[in-house]
């Protein structure tokens, strides 16, 4: 593995930088940087997705035959880093990174032809229907049922913690179609129209005071069997495939961009003339975080190298998920300290909540939302169990 970019990769990086400079408007940058979690408001993410789709860049990991650019692993990494540094809005991951690859791998030709172009264009905006009040980390305990009725399933039950369900027109979800089979054997993977009669969405306001999460209720909701991905009662296989993408991705580009903005803001002087960077304890924590993010980046390069040569990264994915999400939490603690230092002066903070009166709330919202990062996508406790089993043989 070579850590230095090759000439062709440097040329690709320059192409990406030029495109971002020409197409990222100040409004889109402001919208991207205002996001307090990995999910950006669709009023910013969807216009940016349309711009990228016109260039063929909406789905960096997709192969060419399905509308993607067919980039190498390193090209995808370079692109993610440049977008993060430029402040581009995050695109909603549920369609592009999660259900899209599932449809490619497990869907029928008809399903691919219909859904994949709509995912690329943003015409379909997706949410995930997995967790239930009694089935979170123990997802196989889900109870939402789908009863067969001719060419349809009839769904009754509920889902919880459903991110952006209030924006979505489609859900990919797990339902139980066989209550007599072993837990994982009786589950089916369905694509559900969120506008169908019987679907009710109720908001969940998080600790940051934001509406990002929802409860979703199904009361005799009819779903065509043509919307099933994979075989009936084999949805667990599809779900496991999808989780590979939910836990994947790169952490270091976004973490580096966030640290860069924190360092820049910490140089600002307060009313008494003291920048936060003059605080040795803060500078030490900031430098330590920067070193650890560099280590994460090297590991991500190792994963990219393994994938490029057709290898499976194995437990490295679990390690990156654990290290990346816990480092995100440490960085947002720095952001919160930064806000506390500058709040009395009510100074502009380079994207940390410059618009009054929400000066400190942006940092607080980011901090609160980062708490969930070590839970979703398979909690870090689960990831450590995977590492213990695969690396230490425990």
pLDDT of residue 89: 96
**Whole-Å CA distances, 226 to 19, 30, 152, 154:** 40, 41, 8, 13
Residue showing tokens 């399933």? 153
Q: Which domains does the chain have, with CATH numbers?
A: 7-91 (1.10.540.10), 126-237 (2.40.110.10), 247-391 (1.20.140.10)
pLDDT score, position 249:
61
- Dihedral angle of Cα 297, 299, 304, 307, to the nearest 10 degrees: -160
Phi, psi of 370 (to 5 degrees): -65, -20
Return the SS3 of 63.
coil
Which residues, 6+ apart, have CB-to-CB distance to 65 below 8 Å? none
Residue 346 to residue 254: CA distance in whole angstroms: 26
Tokens representing residue 274 in the block: 């003291």
> How many beta carbons lie within 10 A of that of residue 170, not counting itself?
22
State both tokens at 378.
């398979």
Q: pLDDT per position in the chain (394 positions), as tens?
A: 456 778 999 999 999 999 999 999 999 999 998 898 889 999 999 999 999 999 999 999 999 999 999 998 889 989 999 999 999 999 999 999 999 999 999 999 999 999 999 999 999 999 999 999 988 777 889 999 999 999 999 999 999 999 999 999 999 999 999 999 888 899 999 999 999 999 999 999 988 889 999 999 999 999 999 999 999 999 999 988 877 665 556 789 899 999 998 998 888 876 666 888 888 999 999 999 999 999 998 888 877 777 666 666 677 778 888 999 999 999 999 999 988 887 765 544 444 444 333 334 588 889 988 988 888 777 888 889 988 998 888 8
- Whole-number Å distance between alpha carbons of 152 and 170: 17
**What residues have CB less than 8 Å from 241, skipping those under 6 apart?**
101, 102, 105, 106
Nearest by Cα to 91 from 63, 117, 126, 66: 126
Distance CA 74, CA 305 (A): 8
* CA–CA distance, 40 with 210 (Å, rounded to integer): 12
CB within 8 Å of 22: residues ≥ 6 apart: none
For the record, the structure tokens of 263 come out as: 């360092």
Q: What is the pLDDT of residue 242?
A: 78
Contact predicate 362/36, CB 8 Å: yes
Tokens linked to 162: 């459903």
Token pair in block for residue 257 = 């961009």
Cα 57 to Cα 67: distance, rounded to the nearest angstrom = 9
For residue 139, how many C-alpha atoms fall within 13 Å in the half-sphere facing its CB?
25
Instruction: Determine the Cα angle at 288 with ends 272 and 321, to 5°.
Output: 125
* CA 237/CA 184 separation, integer angstroms: 9
In 167-249, alpha helices (H): 235-246
Q: What is the pLDDT of residue 80?
A: 92
Classify residue 274 as left (phi > 0), alpha (psi -120 to 50) or beta.
beta
Q: Is there a contact between 164 and 194 (Cβ–Cβ < 8 Å)?
A: no
Active site residues: 246
Predicted confidence at residue 182, as pLDDT, reads 84
């Amino acid at each position: 593995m070579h850590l230095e970019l090759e000439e062709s990769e440097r040329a690709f990086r320059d192409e990406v930088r030029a495109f971002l400079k020409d197409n990222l408007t100040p409004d889109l940058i402001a919208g991207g940087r205002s996001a307090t979690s990995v999910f950006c408001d669709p009023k910013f993410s969807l216009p940016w997705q349309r711009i990228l789709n016109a260039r063929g860049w909406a789905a960096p990991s997709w192969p060419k035959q399905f509308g993607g650019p067919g980039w190498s692993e390193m090209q995808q990494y370079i692109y993610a880093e440049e977008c993060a540094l430029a402040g581009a809005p995050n695109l909603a991951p549920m369609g592009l990174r999660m259900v899209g690859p599932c449809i490619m791998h497990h869907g029928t030709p008809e399903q691919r032809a219909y859904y994949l172009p709509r995912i690329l264009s943003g015409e379909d905006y997706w949410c995930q229907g997995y967790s239930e009040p009694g089935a979170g980390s123990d997802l196989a305990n889900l109870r939402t049922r789908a009863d067969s009725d001719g060419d349809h399933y009839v769904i009754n039950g509920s889902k919880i913690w459903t991110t952006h369900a209030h924006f979505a027109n489609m859900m990919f979800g797990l339902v139980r179609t066989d209550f007599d089979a072993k837990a994982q054997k009786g589950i089916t993977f369905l694509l559900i129209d969120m506008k169908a009669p019987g679907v009710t969405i109720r908001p969940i306001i998080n600790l940051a005071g934001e509406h990002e999460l929802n409860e979703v209720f199904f009361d005799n909701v009819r779903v065509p069997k043509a919307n099933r991905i994979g075989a009936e009662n084999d949805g667990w296989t599809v779900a496991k495939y999808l989780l590979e993408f939910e836990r994947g991705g790169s952490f270091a580009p976004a973490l580096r961009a966030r640290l860069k903005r924190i360092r820049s803001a910490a140089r600002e002087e307060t009313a008494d003339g003291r920048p936060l960077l003059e605080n040795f304890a803060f500078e030490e924590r900031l430098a330590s975080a920067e070193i650890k993010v560099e280590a994460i980046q090297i590991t991500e390069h190792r994963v990219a190298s393994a994938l490029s040569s057709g290898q499976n990264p194995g437990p490295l994915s679990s390690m990156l998920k654990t290290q990346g999400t816990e480092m995100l939490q440490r960085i947002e603690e720095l952001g919160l300290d930064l806000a506390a230092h500058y709040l009395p002066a009510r100074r502009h903070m380079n994207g940390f909540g410059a618009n009054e009166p929400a000066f400190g709330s942006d940092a607080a919202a980011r901090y609160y939302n980062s708490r969930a990062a070590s839970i979703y996508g398979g909690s870090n406790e689960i990831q450590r169990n995977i590492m213990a089993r695969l690396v230490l043989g425990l």
